[in-house]
Amino acid sequence: MLIQLYLTLVVLAFLASYHAISRQDTYKSIAEETLACAVGIFGFGLLAIASYNIEIVSQGSIVTTTNEYISLLWVAMALLNVVYLVVTILDDLADAGSNTMGGMIGGNR
């Protein structure tokens, strides 16, 4: 359980720094945003695998059920990061389309 708490704090620190950087408009290209989201998805996937492996090792205790739910939580966070990535890319493409094509793709802003 202590390992999961430590990994949770690491992920929260990563997310806090990611959002702080993205609010400063440091990410200026789709490739950089894709890379940042891919790192988040990979991290959440690893945490899901780690939580599930801890669940298998504990073999049938109350902690087992809790770890299974924690593993599902990490999978859900990875999926939310995928959704965030898709929305970000679509928004960037809409901005690029409205700037270069006179609003044909993203509309006038």
| Per-residue pLDDT of the chain in tens (109 residues, 90 and over written 9) | 566 666 676 677 666 666 666 655 545 566 666 667 777 777 777 777 776 766 555 565 655 566 677 777 777 777 777 787 777 777 777 766 555 555 455 555 4
74's CB contacts (< 8 A; 6+ apart) are: 44, 45, 47, 48, 51
- Three-class HEC string of 16-61: HHHHHHHHCCCCCCHHHHHHHHHHHHHHHHHHHHHHHHHHHHHCCC
Helix or strand holding residue 104 (H, E): none
Q: What is the pTM of this model?
A: 0.47
CA–CA gap between residue 71 and residue 77 (Å, rounded) = 10
Domain extents in the chain: 66-100
